[in-house]
Structure 1
Amino acid sequence: MENHHNHNHGHHHHQVEGKNLLFSIVLNIVITVAQVIGGILSGSLALISDALHNFSDVLSLVFSYVAHKLSRKKASVNQTFGYKRAELIAAFVNAMTLIVVALFLVFEATERFFHPQIIEFGLVIWLSILGIAMNGLSVLLLKNDADKNLNMKSAYLHLFTDMLASVAVLIGGLLMKYFQWFWVDSVLTLVIAIYLIIVGFDLLKKSTQMLMLFTPSHLDINDIISEVHKISGVNKLHHIHVWYLNEEELHLEAHLDCSEDIKMSEFNVLLDKVEQVLLEKFHINHINIQPEYKKEEDSKDFIVQD
C-alpha cells in the first residue's frame, strides 16, 4: 500500500507558548477559588455557577497543555500514532463534565427561583470584576496562539465567554444592589447553565465523531469520488475511509483501481495527481492508497466494512 503524507504543504505545527497557557491556568484557578468562596459567603448561585464554568475551563486549559506536551512525543513501535488523539479524549471528558455541571445548575437555579434568598451583592460585584480582569488578561495572553492553533483557539474562546459571563454576573449584582431583584441571580444561573449545555453538547458531538472515526461532516464521499474519477488513468476509487486523527490531520485510505496495467513508477505519477486533488479541494493531508488493476475478487463498493 502506498503511504503518502503531505507534510510540507498539508498542515503545519505551530509552536504554542506553553508559558502563556500555564499563566492562564493559574489565573483561572485563582478566579475559581475566589468565586466559590465568595458565592458561598454571599449566597449567590450565579457566582458559584460562573466559578464552575471557570473551573471547567481550568480543566480544558490543563488538558490542552498536557495534550500540547504529549503531541511533541515521537511515535514508537508501541504508539505508532504517538499521543495525537489525547486531545480528543480530553475534549470528550471535558464535554461530559460541562453537561453534568450544567444540569446540576439548572436544578439548583429552579429551586432557588421559587425560594429566592437575600444575597450579599457587594461580594458578587467585586468578584465579578475580578473575573472580568483576570479572564481579560488570559484572553490577551492567548490571542496570538489562537490565531495559529485550533486547540488554543478553543481555549481562547472559552476564556472570552468566561469574561462575558462575568460581565453578566456584574450586571446582576448591580441590579440586586439598586433594585433588590434577587431573582436575577437564578435567571443568570439558568442562562449560564444553558450556555454550558450548548457548548458542552457541541464539544461532545465533535469529539465523539472524531473518536469514532466518522467521516467529517463537512466532507461528502461522493464529491471526493467524483473529483478523483476525473483524473486520467483512474478507473475506480473504492474501499474509502476518511477520518480525523486529530484536529490537524485529515486521513484518507482507499483502493485505487487503475484503468491500465501500469508500472509502479507510472502509478507514482498518478498518485501525485490524486494527492494534489485531495489536498487542494478537500484539505486531506494524509493519504494511503492501495493500487489495483482488474482485481475481480475484491469488492469494488465505495464503502466496505473490513
Structure 2
Amino acid sequence: MRILLLGANGQVGHALREALPALGELACATRGGRLSDGTSCERADFDQPDALAPLIARVAPDIVVNAAAYTAVDRAEDDREAAYRINAEAPGVLAAACARRGALLVHYSTDYVFDGRGTRPYREDDSAAPLGVYGASKLAGEQAVRAAGGRHMILRTAWVYGLHGHNFLRSILRLAGERDELRVVDDQIGTPTSAGLVARTTGTLLTQQLRRSGTWHLAARGETSWHGLAVSIVEHAHARGMLDRIPKVAPVASSEYPSRASRPAYSCLDSGLLQREFLTPLPCWQDDLARVFDTEHGRRG
C-alpha cells in the first residue's frame, strides 16, 4: 500500500510521519519540498491547487492523507482568498484527483465549523454555522471533498496541540519560562486533542476496512477551558523538570483579549460515532496530555 502524506511538516503531519510507515510505503510532501530535518521530499503547495492533480497522478497513491491547511484564524479574516484557496479549492482538486484513481482521501477538518452556541458536545449531524472565515473555509473544504464523489474520510478534530509546530502547548511552555504570571481565557470551552492522538487514531482507522465514506469526529473525551488546559500544561511540565517553577495562571474573560476573528464559546466534539463504528476507544484529554509529556520525558531521559 502506498500512502501520500501532505503537510508533513505541520504538527499533525509530523506525528503522522511516525504513525503511518507501519501501514505501507510512505511518501511525504511539504510546501517547500523538504522535511523539517532538511530531507528532500515531494512538493505540494496548496496555494497552487492546480499542481496537486499532477502530483497524485505521478505518485499514484492508494491513500492520500491531507494534513495541510491554512490555520491562521485571525489572519484569515483579512486574507479570505488565500484561506479559501488552501482550505477549500485545494482539497476539492485533491479529492477529484483521488476519485479518478480510486484512492482514499483522509481529510482533517475542525470544530470551528460550529458556532459554539451548543450546550452538549457536537455530533456529526449537527448543523454547521461557522463564525469566521477560517471555519467557513474549512466547511467549504468538507463540501468540496464530498462533492468530488470519491472515497473519503473527513475527520473533524479540535484544539490540536503537541510539542512540534505552532500551538497552544508550546506557547504556554515558552511563556511559563519567561513570566511569573500567565493570563489565560477561561470562557471558551473545548476538547484538547494531541497531534499524536490524531495520528495514531488515523493509523488505526486505516488498518480497518472502510465501509462507507463519511465524516467522523476525532477528539479526546471530556472538556476544559484554555485556562484549564494551561494549568495542566505547566503542572505536567514542572513535574517532569521542564519548568523550574510553576507560574500563576490567572483566568480572564475573552473580552480582555479581543481578536480579529470570533471563536466559538463551546466547541466540544462528540467522538462516539467513531468509537462505535471503528471500535476505537479514545482517552480523556487529561490522559492524552499526560502521554504527550511522558513520551517527551522518556525521549529526554
Which TM-score tier does this pair reach, normalised by the shorter chain? under 0.3
More helix by share: 1
TM-score, normalised relative to structure 1: 0.23
TM-score, normalised relative to structure 2: 0.23
- Structure ranking higher on relative contact order (CA contacts 8 Å, 6+ apart): 1
More strand by share: 2
Specify the structure having the higher radius of gyration (Cα): 1
